[in-house]
Amino acid sequence: MECTHNYNESFYYAGDSDTKLTWDGYDARAQTDDAQAFLRRHAQQGGSSDQTPFLLMLSWGPPHNPYGTAPPQYRAMYNAEDIQLRPNVPSDVADQAREDLAG
């Protein structure tokens, strides 16, 4: 798929299919769940008969702008006022930086 930052309504294609599928919920979580399910299926089937190595890689969009898209339980984990910024963050963007990091 082409780049999107709508992490709560992102889509994907499986294999060579042209059917547009949508991740259920926050895509970083849904993609991880899907990868784990793949590994479980693969392990239960005893792997491939020829033991061919494979690579499974997850490349999530978040954390990436827009930062406030995570589900509420994750956004509630960090309070922007409590975030200590590095000294090189300019004061005119400090409040926005704290909000972004909290998101």
- For 64-80, write each residue's pLDDT tens digit: 777 778 888 888 999 99
Residue 102: C-alpha distances to residues 15, 69, 75, 78, 79 (Å): 36, 11, 7, 5, 6
- For 2-38, write each residue's pLDDT tens digit: 667 888 888 888 889 999 898 888 899 999 999 999 8
pTM: predicted TM-score of the whole model, two decimal places:
0.68
